[in-house]
Amino acid sequence: MQTLALGVLVDKLQDLERAAEYALNVNEKPVWSKLGVAQLDNKLASMAIKSFLNAEDPKEYMRVCNEANDLEIWDELIPFIKMARGK
Amino acid sequence: MLKALAVSASLASLPISTTSLGKSQPKFYTNPNPYPNSNPNPIPNFLFLFLFPILHFLICAPALNMVRDVLGDVLVVGVIAVLLVSVCASSAQFLQNNMFYDSNLLGAFCEALDPSLSFEAYFEAYKCANENANLQNLLILTAMKAAPDKVMGYVDRLDNFHGPDIAKLAISEQHELFEEGYAIYCKFSKKEVRHNQQCNKTQHSTIQHN
Protein backbone atom coordinates (compact mmCIF):
# COMPACT_ATOMS: atom_id res chain seq x y z
CA MET A 1 0.00 0.00 0.00
CA GLN A 2 2.87 2.37 0.83
CA THR A 3 4.52 1.73 -2.53
CA LEU A 4 1.16 2.38 -4.22
CA ALA A 5 0.90 5.72 -2.40
CA LEU A 6 4.40 6.62 -3.52
CA GLY A 7 3.47 5.48 -7.03
CA VAL A 8 0.68 8.08 -7.12
CA LEU A 9 3.11 10.82 -6.07
CA VAL A 10 5.75 9.76 -8.56
CA ASP A 11 3.73 8.66 -11.59
CA LYS A 12 0.57 10.77 -11.40
CA LEU A 13 1.44 13.93 -9.46
CA GLN A 14 5.12 13.83 -10.50
CA ASP A 15 6.15 15.51 -7.24
CA LEU A 16 9.50 14.01 -6.25
CA GLU A 17 9.96 16.33 -3.27
CA ARG A 18 6.78 15.09 -1.65
CA ALA A 19 7.72 11.56 -2.60
CA ALA A 20 11.08 11.96 -0.81
CA GLU A 21 9.31 13.33 2.29
CA TYR A 22 6.89 10.40 2.23
CA ALA A 23 9.73 7.88 1.92
CA LEU A 24 11.49 9.54 4.83
CA ASN A 25 8.34 9.29 6.98
CA VAL A 26 7.57 5.70 6.05
CA ASN A 27 11.21 4.50 5.91
CA GLU A 28 10.49 1.18 4.20
CA LYS A 29 12.92 -0.46 1.79
CA PRO A 30 10.49 -1.05 -1.13
CA VAL A 31 9.40 2.60 -0.92
CA TRP A 32 13.01 3.84 -1.04
CA SER A 33 13.68 1.52 -3.95
CA LYS A 34 10.74 2.86 -5.97
CA LEU A 35 11.75 6.42 -5.20
CA GLY A 36 15.30 5.65 -6.35
CA VAL A 37 14.08 4.38 -9.71
CA ALA A 38 11.91 7.48 -10.17
CA GLN A 39 14.83 9.77 -9.31
CA LEU A 40 17.04 7.89 -11.71
CA ASP A 41 14.43 8.34 -14.46
CA ASN A 42 14.46 12.08 -13.74
CA LYS A 43 18.30 12.29 -13.96
CA LEU A 44 18.71 12.93 -10.20
CA ALA A 45 21.59 10.47 -9.83
CA SER A 46 23.01 11.56 -6.47
CA MET A 47 19.58 11.53 -4.80
CA ALA A 48 18.82 8.18 -6.43
CA ILE A 49 22.06 6.74 -5.00
CA LYS A 50 21.02 7.86 -1.50
CA SER A 51 17.60 6.27 -1.98
CA PHE A 52 19.12 2.99 -3.19
CA LEU A 53 21.48 3.04 -0.21
CA ASN A 54 18.50 3.45 2.14
CA ALA A 55 16.75 0.63 0.31
CA GLU A 56 19.91 -1.51 0.27
CA ASP A 57 18.94 -2.34 -3.29
CA PRO A 58 21.74 -2.81 -5.88
CA LYS A 59 19.44 -4.00 -8.71
CA GLU A 60 19.83 -0.85 -10.81
CA TYR A 61 23.64 -0.77 -10.51
CA MET A 62 24.21 -0.53 -14.27
CA ARG A 63 22.06 2.54 -14.68
CA VAL A 64 23.42 4.10 -11.49
CA CYS A 65 27.02 3.60 -12.63
CA ASN A 66 26.31 5.04 -16.08
CA GLU A 67 24.57 8.13 -14.65
CA ALA A 68 27.32 8.65 -12.07
CA ASN A 69 29.94 8.31 -14.82
CA ASP A 70 28.19 10.93 -16.93
CA LEU A 71 27.91 13.37 -14.01
CA GLU A 72 31.30 12.42 -12.53
CA ILE A 73 29.95 12.05 -8.98
CA TRP A 74 32.50 9.53 -7.74
CA ASP A 75 32.21 10.39 -4.03
CA GLU A 76 28.52 9.53 -3.99
CA LEU A 77 29.05 6.39 -6.08
CA ILE A 78 31.65 4.75 -3.79
CA PRO A 79 29.25 3.87 -0.89
CA PHE A 80 26.76 2.50 -3.42
CA ILE A 81 29.37 0.24 -5.01
CA LYS A 82 30.48 -0.97 -1.56
CA MET A 83 26.87 -1.80 -0.70
CA ALA A 84 26.36 -3.55 -4.05
CA ARG A 85 29.50 -5.67 -3.56
CA GLY A 86 28.29 -6.68 -0.11
CA LYS A 87 25.02 -8.02 -1.53
CA MET B 1 -40.09 -0.08 -3.08
CA LEU B 2 -39.97 -2.51 -5.98
CA LYS B 3 -43.65 -1.84 -6.41
CA ALA B 4 -42.86 1.84 -6.50
CA LEU B 5 -40.34 1.31 -9.27
CA ALA B 6 -42.89 -0.80 -11.14
CA VAL B 7 -45.50 1.97 -10.85
CA SER B 8 -43.13 4.59 -12.19
CA ALA B 9 -42.02 2.27 -14.99
CA SER B 10 -45.63 1.63 -16.02
CA LEU B 11 -46.36 5.36 -15.95
CA ALA B 12 -43.35 6.02 -18.13
CA SER B 13 -44.34 3.40 -20.67
CA LEU B 14 -47.88 4.73 -21.32
CA PRO B 15 -48.35 5.36 -25.06
CA ILE B 16 -49.20 9.08 -24.76
CA SER B 17 -47.48 11.34 -27.24
CA THR B 18 -45.48 14.20 -25.73
CA THR B 19 -46.50 16.46 -28.60
CA SER B 20 -50.24 15.88 -28.05
CA LEU B 21 -50.64 19.16 -26.19
CA GLY B 22 -49.49 21.20 -29.16
CA LYS B 23 -47.55 24.43 -29.39
CA SER B 24 -50.13 26.46 -27.44
CA GLN B 25 -49.04 24.71 -24.26
CA PRO B 26 -48.26 27.34 -21.56
CA LYS B 27 -44.63 27.61 -20.43
CA PHE B 28 -45.50 26.73 -16.85
CA TYR B 29 -46.45 23.21 -17.85
CA THR B 30 -43.39 22.45 -19.93
CA ASN B 31 -41.46 19.69 -18.31
CA PRO B 32 -38.24 21.16 -16.86
CA ASN B 33 -35.06 19.12 -17.24
CA PRO B 34 -32.39 20.70 -15.00
CA TYR B 35 -29.95 17.84 -15.56
CA PRO B 36 -28.42 18.13 -19.02
CA ASN B 37 -26.55 14.83 -18.73
CA SER B 38 -29.56 12.87 -17.60
CA ASN B 39 -31.84 10.70 -19.71
CA PRO B 40 -34.85 12.31 -21.40
CA ASN B 41 -37.81 12.65 -19.03
CA PRO B 42 -39.46 9.24 -18.65
CA ILE B 43 -42.94 10.64 -17.90
CA PRO B 44 -44.93 12.26 -20.73
CA ASN B 45 -46.06 15.87 -20.50
CA PHE B 46 -49.73 14.88 -20.34
CA LEU B 47 -49.21 13.08 -17.03
CA PHE B 48 -46.92 15.80 -15.83
CA LEU B 49 -49.81 18.27 -16.24
CA PHE B 50 -51.68 16.41 -13.48
CA LEU B 51 -48.75 15.29 -11.38
CA PHE B 52 -47.01 18.65 -11.08
CA PRO B 53 -49.39 20.33 -8.57
CA ILE B 54 -49.89 17.13 -6.55
CA LEU B 55 -46.19 16.43 -6.29
CA HIS B 56 -45.38 19.99 -5.34
CA PHE B 57 -48.02 19.77 -2.61
CA LEU B 58 -46.42 16.56 -1.37
CA ILE B 59 -42.95 18.10 -1.10
CA CYS B 60 -43.91 20.31 1.81
CA ALA B 61 -43.25 18.74 5.22
CA PRO B 62 -46.80 18.77 6.72
CA ALA B 63 -48.14 16.90 3.71
CA LEU B 64 -45.36 14.34 3.95
CA ASN B 65 -45.99 13.80 7.65
CA MET B 66 -49.69 13.37 6.88
CA VAL B 67 -48.92 10.77 4.22
CA ARG B 68 -46.63 8.93 6.62
CA ASP B 69 -49.12 9.04 9.51
CA VAL B 70 -52.05 7.93 7.41
CA LEU B 71 -50.35 5.23 5.42
CA GLY B 72 -47.24 4.62 7.54
CA ASP B 73 -45.38 3.02 4.69
CA VAL B 74 -41.94 3.46 3.19
CA LEU B 75 -43.41 2.26 -0.08
CA VAL B 76 -45.72 5.27 -0.43
CA VAL B 77 -42.95 7.78 0.17
CA GLY B 78 -40.81 5.72 -2.20
CA VAL B 79 -43.42 6.05 -4.95
CA ILE B 80 -43.58 9.81 -4.40
CA ALA B 81 -39.79 10.03 -4.45
CA VAL B 82 -39.51 8.03 -7.67
CA LEU B 83 -42.17 10.20 -9.34
CA LEU B 84 -40.52 13.40 -8.14
CA VAL B 85 -37.10 12.29 -9.29
CA SER B 86 -38.56 11.39 -12.68
CA VAL B 87 -40.61 14.55 -13.09
CA CYS B 88 -39.39 17.75 -11.53
CA ALA B 89 -36.52 19.88 -10.37
CA SER B 90 -37.40 19.85 -6.66
CA SER B 91 -36.33 16.24 -6.28
CA ALA B 92 -32.93 17.15 -4.74
CA GLN B 93 -34.73 19.20 -2.10
CA PHE B 94 -37.11 16.32 -1.48
CA LEU B 95 -34.25 13.83 -1.07
CA GLN B 96 -32.48 16.15 1.39
CA ASN B 97 -35.49 16.92 3.56
CA ASN B 98 -37.27 13.59 3.63
CA MET B 99 -36.09 10.60 5.70
CA PHE B 100 -38.77 8.06 4.87
CA TYR B 101 -37.63 6.59 1.56
CA ASP B 102 -35.37 3.59 1.02
CA SER B 103 -32.07 5.35 0.29
CA ASN B 104 -30.35 2.34 -1.18
CA LEU B 105 -33.02 1.52 -3.76
CA LEU B 106 -33.79 5.12 -4.63
CA GLY B 107 -30.08 5.84 -5.03
CA ALA B 108 -29.78 2.98 -7.50
CA PHE B 109 -32.83 4.30 -9.39
CA CYS B 110 -31.38 7.83 -9.54
CA GLU B 111 -28.01 6.69 -10.88
CA ALA B 112 -29.43 6.36 -14.38
CA LEU B 113 -31.10 9.78 -14.25
CA ASP B 114 -28.56 11.95 -12.46
CA PRO B 115 -25.62 10.92 -10.24
CA SER B 116 -26.02 14.03 -8.06
CA LEU B 117 -29.50 12.86 -7.04
CA SER B 118 -28.24 9.38 -6.18
CA PHE B 119 -25.50 11.10 -4.19
CA GLU B 120 -28.18 12.85 -2.11
CA ALA B 121 -30.02 9.55 -1.59
CA TYR B 122 -26.89 7.65 -0.56
CA PHE B 123 -25.90 10.50 1.74
CA GLU B 124 -29.10 9.94 3.71
CA ALA B 125 -28.32 6.24 3.87
CA TYR B 126 -24.80 6.96 5.07
CA LYS B 127 -26.22 9.03 7.94
CA CYS B 128 -28.31 6.04 8.98
CA ALA B 129 -25.71 3.30 8.51
CA ASN B 130 -22.24 4.49 9.41
CA GLU B 131 -20.63 1.06 9.42
CA ASN B 132 -22.03 -0.27 6.15
CA ALA B 133 -19.06 -0.77 3.82
CA ASN B 134 -21.14 -1.06 0.66
CA LEU B 135 -22.97 2.19 1.36
CA GLN B 136 -19.70 3.96 2.05
CA ASN B 137 -18.32 2.65 -1.24
CA LEU B 138 -21.46 3.85 -3.03
CA LEU B 139 -21.28 7.25 -1.39
CA ILE B 140 -17.67 7.81 -2.42
CA LEU B 141 -18.21 6.47 -5.94
CA THR B 142 -21.25 8.67 -6.54
CA ALA B 143 -19.37 11.63 -5.06
CA MET B 144 -16.60 10.94 -7.60
CA LYS B 145 -19.17 11.22 -10.37
CA ALA B 146 -21.37 14.02 -9.04
CA ALA B 147 -19.30 16.12 -6.63
CA PRO B 148 -15.54 15.40 -6.91
CA ASP B 149 -14.71 18.26 -4.51
CA LYS B 150 -16.47 16.39 -1.69
CA VAL B 151 -14.53 13.14 -2.12
CA MET B 152 -11.61 14.22 0.08
CA GLY B 153 -14.00 15.03 2.96
CA TYR B 154 -15.56 11.59 2.77
CA VAL B 155 -12.15 9.91 2.60
CA ASP B 156 -11.22 11.70 5.83
CA ARG B 157 -14.45 10.91 7.63
CA LEU B 158 -15.23 7.35 6.49
CA ASP B 159 -13.22 4.33 7.62
CA ASN B 160 -15.06 1.30 6.41
CA PHE B 161 -14.82 1.42 2.59
CA HIS B 162 -12.69 -0.73 0.26
CA GLY B 163 -9.65 1.53 0.14
CA PRO B 164 -7.39 -0.03 -2.52
CA ASP B 165 -10.23 -0.53 -5.04
CA ILE B 166 -11.63 2.97 -4.52
CA ALA B 167 -8.14 4.50 -4.77
CA LYS B 168 -7.48 2.62 -8.01
CA LEU B 169 -10.70 4.05 -9.45
CA ALA B 170 -9.91 7.55 -8.16
CA ILE B 171 -6.53 7.70 -9.92
CA SER B 172 -7.90 6.18 -13.14
CA GLU B 173 -8.18 8.27 -16.30
CA GLN B 174 -11.95 8.43 -15.82
CA HIS B 175 -11.75 10.46 -12.60
CA GLU B 176 -8.17 11.74 -12.25
CA LEU B 177 -8.53 12.40 -8.50
CA PHE B 178 -4.85 11.87 -7.68
CA GLU B 179 -4.72 13.69 -4.33
CA GLU B 180 -7.74 11.72 -3.13
CA GLY B 181 -6.20 8.44 -4.32
CA TYR B 182 -2.97 9.29 -2.52
CA ALA B 183 -4.91 10.15 0.67
CA ILE B 184 -6.75 6.81 0.53
CA TYR B 185 -3.52 4.84 0.07
CA CYS B 186 -1.89 6.76 2.96
CA LYS B 187 -4.86 6.12 5.23
CA PHE B 188 -5.02 2.41 4.49
CA SER B 189 -1.26 1.91 4.63
CA LYS B 190 -1.31 3.25 8.20
CA LYS B 191 -4.10 0.78 8.98
CA GLU B 192 -2.07 -2.01 7.39
CA VAL B 193 1.02 -1.14 9.46
CA ARG B 194 -1.04 -1.08 12.67
CA HIS B 195 -2.61 -4.45 11.79
CA ASN B 196 0.81 -6.00 11.07
CA GLN B 197 2.18 -4.67 14.37
CA GLN B 198 -0.76 -6.19 16.26
CA CYS B 199 -0.28 -9.52 14.47
CA ASN B 200 3.42 -9.52 15.37
CA LYS B 201 2.60 -8.73 19.01
CA THR B 202 0.08 -11.57 19.27
CA GLN B 203 2.49 -14.00 17.59
CA HIS B 204 5.25 -12.94 19.97
CA SER B 205 3.01 -13.34 23.03
CA THR B 206 1.80 -16.81 21.95
CA ILE B 207 5.40 -17.96 21.41
CA GLN B 208 6.34 -16.68 24.89
CA HIS B 209 3.25 -18.35 26.37
CA ASN B 210 4.16 -21.72 24.83
Instruction: Residue A37: give the domain boundaries.
Output: 2-86
pLDDT digits 0-9 by tens, B78-119: 666 666 666 665 667 777 776 667 777 777 777 766 766 777
Chain A residue at shortest CA distance from B168: A4
Domain boundaries, chain B: 1-11+38-128, 147-210
- The shortest C-alpha distance from B162 to chain A (Å) reads 13
The residue type of B14 is: L
| pLDDT, position B66 | 60
Distance from the Cα of B172 to chain A's closest Cα (Å) equals: 10
Average pLDDT rounded to a whole number, residues B156-174 = 91
Q: What would the pLDDT profile of B119-147 be if each residue is shown by its tens digit?
A: 777 776 666 556 678 878 888 998 898 88
pLDDT at position B181, please?
95
With 0-12 / 13-18 / 19 or more C-beta atoms within 10 angstroms meaning exposed / middle / buried, residue B155 is buried
* pLDDT of A8 higher than 70: yes
Chain A residue numbers touching B186 (CB-CB < 8 A): 5
User: In a mutagenesis test of the A interface, which of B165, B171, B186, B190 is the best target, namely the one with the most A β-carbons within 10 Å?
Assistant: B186
H/E stretch holding A22 reads: helix A16-26
How close A29 comes to chain B (CA, Å)? 14
Cβ distance B18 to B45 under 8 Å?
Answer: yes
B51 neighbors B32 (Cβ within 8 angstroms): no
Q: What average pLDDT does range B56-74 have in this prediction? A: 57
Measured CA angle at A29 (ends B197, B189), to 5 deg? 45
A1 to B189: CB separation less than 8 angstroms, yes or no: yes
Query: What's the confidence (pLDDT) of residue B37?
Result: 46
Average pLDDT over residues A19-29: 93
Query: What is the ipTM, given to two decimal places?
Result: 0.88
Rounded to an integer, the average pLDDT of B29-48 is 46
Distances, alpha carbon B112 to alpha carbons A67, B70, B107, B134, B188, in Å: 54, 31, 9, 19, 31
- pLDDT band for B13, please (50, 70, 90 cuts): very low
Q: How far apart are CA A21 and CA B17, in angstroms?
A: 64
Q: State the average pLDDT for chain B.
A: 68
Kindly tell me if the per-residue pLDDT of B14 is higher than 60.
no
Q: How far apart are CA B210 and CA A82, in angstroms?
A: 43
Which among B163, B185, B192 has CB closest to A8?
B185
Residue A79 pLDDT level (bands cut at 50, 70, 90): very high
Total domains, chain A: 1
Across the range A26-30, mean pLDDT stands at 92
Span B177-204, average pLDDT: 87
Q: What is the pLDDT of residue A35?
A: 95
Is residue B182 over pLDDT 90? yes
CB B130 within 8 A of CB B122: no
A49-80 exposure pattern, b = at least 16 Cβ within 10 A, e = fewer: bbbbbbbebbebbeebeebbeeeeeeebbeeb
CB contact under 8 A, B167 and A4: yes
pLDDT for B36 equals 44
pLDDT bucket at B26, cuts 50 / 70 / 90: very low
Residue B49 has pLDDT above 80, yes or no: no
Closest approach of B129 to chain A, Cα-based (Å) = 27
| Closest CA relative to residue A2, chosen from B178, B195, B194, B185 | B185
Give the nearest chain B residue to A14 (CA atoms).
B178
Chain B residues lying within 8 Å of A4, measured CB to CB: 164, 167, 185, 189
Residue A14 has pLDDT above 50, yes or no: yes
- The enclosing H or E element of A53 equals helix A45-55
Q: Output B184 or B6, whichever has higher pLDDT.
A: B184
Task: Judge whether residue A7 has pLDDT over 90.
Answer: yes
Torsion on CA atoms A70, A74, A79, A82, rounded to nearest 10: 80
**What phi and psi values does residue B61 have, to the nearest 5 degrees?**
-60, -45
B154-158, B165-169, B188-192 — most confident range:
B165-169
Instruction: Using alpha carbons, select from B99, B155, B108, B152 the residue that is nearest to residue B129.
Output: B99
Decide if B113 contacts B85 (C-beta within 8 A): yes
B-chain CB neighbours of A12 within 8 Å are 171, 178, 181-182
- pLDDT digits over A47-75, tens only? 999 999 999 999 999 999 999 999 888 89
Q: Which of B164, B178, B188 sits opposite A12 (nearest CB)?
A: B178
